């Protein structure tokens, strides 16, 4: 059962445990300050109630010492809260180097997950237990905002059209955990559910190779399992309709798809993958490097930078390539293709 008498979902990750500790502290602060206000309030209302023979009000207009105290004490407490909140939250930014990457594309109204090996699933995300997983989240430019939320992990991040955002988690125990869309996205918003399916690394390896594996137990939000059986049925139907593409081809990973795209979109005519400069700079060693732009800005190459270069090359002309113009590919590359192209570039490091 989850914390606070089962009013929190089970804390499925280390991060969630730390989160819960912070929240317990916050609840204590809330209860204490609520009592500090309400107990005297009720007491005064009864004790000084005007009844026949009640004493006339005492004329008190201020008390510097008290006023000082009730300014300083809350200040100190909110600072403690803030720092603790930051310490917990900061972890979401520190994505472990060895994290396995899954690209999340939110659409109205389903979730697509792209794995390094080229496999794509819909509405169910298989992950190995005990292994940090990094999510690179985005939505198509033509789509709307969505938000990726796993209550058991206490994590959430918006999917913004035309932008990449990041999140990570590491779930130690097997189970199925619900994923909600928490940014309002229209008629299908409340049905835009998916699930994280955490399985042992060995099982995960089997799944990668296309084998059927036994599903772990769904972990409930209110109770230890999905509550009434009705809800179980509902989520499972969703999984059935969600087409998992089992076209597993270990030789055609996501990077490989990116290489193919680079050819079919004509990128190869200007970009090499071996470090030689054609019309444009080479992809080799590009990802994560620092490029200098013609206007003097220095930028570390990440997903957002690459997407911007592809969709709006003029917004950041690279030093040494001032005269050369790359055509814009805006509207010609889908979010999934973009992920493939980026995976390809990353693979050249």
Partner 1 sequence: MGAPAHHHSSDKPQEGQVNFHHAHHFKNADEQFVTAKLGMWVFIMQEILFFTPLFVGYFMYKGQYFPSFHEAAKSLDPVMGAVNTVILITSSFTMARAVSAAQRGNREALKENLLWTILCAIGFLVVKYIEYSHKVHDGLLPGSHFNNAELLGVAPQAPLFFAFYFAMTGLHGIHVLVGVGLLTWLWFRARRGDFGSNYYTPVEMTGLYWHLVDLIWIYLFPILYLVG
Partner 2 sequence: MHHSPAGTNYLTYPKGLWSWIVTLDHKRIGIMYLATTLLWFLLGGTFATILRLEHFTPGQGFMDAGQYNRAFTYHGTIMVFMVIIPMIPAAIGNFVLPMMLGAKDVAFPRLNLLSYYIFVLGSFMALGTLFIGGVDTGWTFYTPYSTRTGMGAALMVSAAFVMGFSSILTGLNFIATIHKLRAPGMTWDKLPLFLWSLYATSIIQILATPVIALTLAMLVLEKLVGIGFFDPNLGGDPVLFQHFFWFYSHPAVYIMILPAMGIINEVIPTFSRKPIFGYKAMAAAIFGIALVSFVVWGHHMFTTGQSAFANFMFSLITMFVAVPTGVKVFNWLGTMYKGTIRLKVPMLYALQFLFVFVIGGLTGVVLATLGPDIHFHDTYYVVAHFHYVMVGGSLMAFLAGLHYWFPKFFGKTYNEKAGIFGWLLVFTGFNLTFMPQFIAGQLGHPRRYFNYLPEYTPLNVASSVGSLILAVGFFWTAFYLIYALWKGNKASGNPWQAATLEWASDSPPPIENFTHDPVVTHGPYDYTAVKGG
Which residues bind to partner 1, rule: CB under 8 A? 295, 312-317, 325, 328, 330
Q: Are 284 and 293 in contact (CB under 8 A)?
A: no
From 72-80, 96-104, 175-183, 229-237, span contacting ligand HEA (CB under 6 A): 72-80
Considering only residues 52, 65, 93, 296, which one is a binding residue for partner 2 as defined by CB under 8 A?
93
Should residue 270 be labelled a site residue for ligand HEC when binding is judged by CB under 6 A?
Answer: yes
User: Among residues 113 and 329, whose Cβ is nearest to partner 1?
Assistant: 329
Should residue 209 be labelled a site residue for partner 2 when binding is judged by CB under 8 A?
Answer: no
324 binds, among ligand HEA, partner 1, ligand HEC, none (CB under 5 to 8 A by kind): ligand HEC
User: Among residues 182 and 272, whose Cβ is nearest to partner 2?
Assistant: 182
User: Among residues 28 and 243, whose Cβ is nearest to ligand HEA?
Assistant: 28
3-state SS assignment for residue 308: helix
Per the structure block, which two tokens stand in for 50?
A: 């005007």
- Which residues lie closer than 8 Å to 247 by C-beta, 6 or more apart? 119
Query: Could you say which residues in the range 167-206 bind ligand CUA, by CB under 6 A?
Result: 181, 183-185, 189, 192
Q: In the bound complex, what is the minimum distance in angstroms from residue 309's beta carbon to partner 2?
A: 14
Considering only residues 291, 304, 319, 328, which one is a binding residue for ligand HEC as defined by CB under 6 A?
291
Per DSSP, 333 falls in state S
Longest dimension (CA), the chain: 98
Per the structure block, which two tokens stand in for 333?
A: 């590359």
CA-closest candidate to residue 15, choices 82, 78, 79, 90: 90
Q: In the bound complex, what is the minimum distance in angstroms from residue 77's beta carbon to ligand HEC?
A: 48
Element (H, E) at 309: helix 303-311
Q: How far is CA 179 from CA 35, 203, 219, 278, 333, in A?
A: 36, 21, 12, 44, 27
């Amino acid at each position: 059962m989850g914390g606070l008498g089962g009013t929190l979902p089970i804390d499925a990750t280390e991060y969630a445990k730390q989160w819960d500790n912070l929240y317990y502290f916050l609840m204590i602060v809330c209860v204490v300050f609520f009592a500090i206000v309400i107990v005297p309030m009720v007491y005064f209302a009864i004790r000084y109630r005007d009844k026949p023979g009640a004493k006339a009000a005492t004329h008190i207009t201020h008390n510097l010492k008290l006023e000082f105290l009730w300014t300083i004490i809350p200040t100190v407490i909110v600072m403690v809260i803030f720092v603790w909140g930051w310490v917990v939250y900061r972890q979401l930014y520190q994505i472990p180097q060895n994290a396995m990457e899954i690209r999340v594309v939110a659409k109205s109204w389903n979730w697509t997950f792209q794995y390094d090996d080229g496999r794509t699933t819909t509405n169910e995300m298989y992950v190995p237990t005990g292994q940090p997983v990094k999510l690179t989240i985005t939505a198509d430019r033509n789509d709307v905002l969505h938000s990726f939320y796993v209550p058991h992990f206490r994590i959430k991040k918006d999917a913004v059209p035309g932008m990449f955002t990041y999140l990570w988690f590491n779930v130690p125990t097997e189970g199925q955990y619900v994923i909600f869309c928490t940014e309002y996205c229209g008629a299908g918003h409340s049905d835009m559910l998916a699930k994280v399916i955490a399985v042992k690394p060995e099982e995960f390896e089997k799944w990668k190779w296309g084998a059927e594996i036994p599903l772990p137990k769904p972990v409930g939000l209110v109770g230890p399992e999905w509550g009434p059986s009705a809800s179980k049925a509902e989520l499972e139907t969703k999984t059935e309709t969600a087409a998992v593409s089992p076209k597993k081809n270990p030789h055609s990973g996501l990077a490989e798809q990116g290489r193919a795209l680079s050819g079919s979109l004509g990128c190869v005519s200007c970009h090499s993958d071996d470090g030689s400069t054609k019309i444009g700079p080479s992809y080799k060693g590009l990802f994560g490097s620092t490029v200098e732009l013609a206007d003097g800005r220095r930028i570390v190459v990440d997903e957002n930078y690459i997407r911007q270069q592809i969709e709006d090359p003029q917004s950041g002309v690279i030093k040494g390539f001032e005269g050369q113009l790359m055509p814009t590919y805006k509207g010609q590359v889908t979010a999934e293709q973009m992920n493939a192209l980026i995976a390809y570039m990353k693979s050249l490091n």
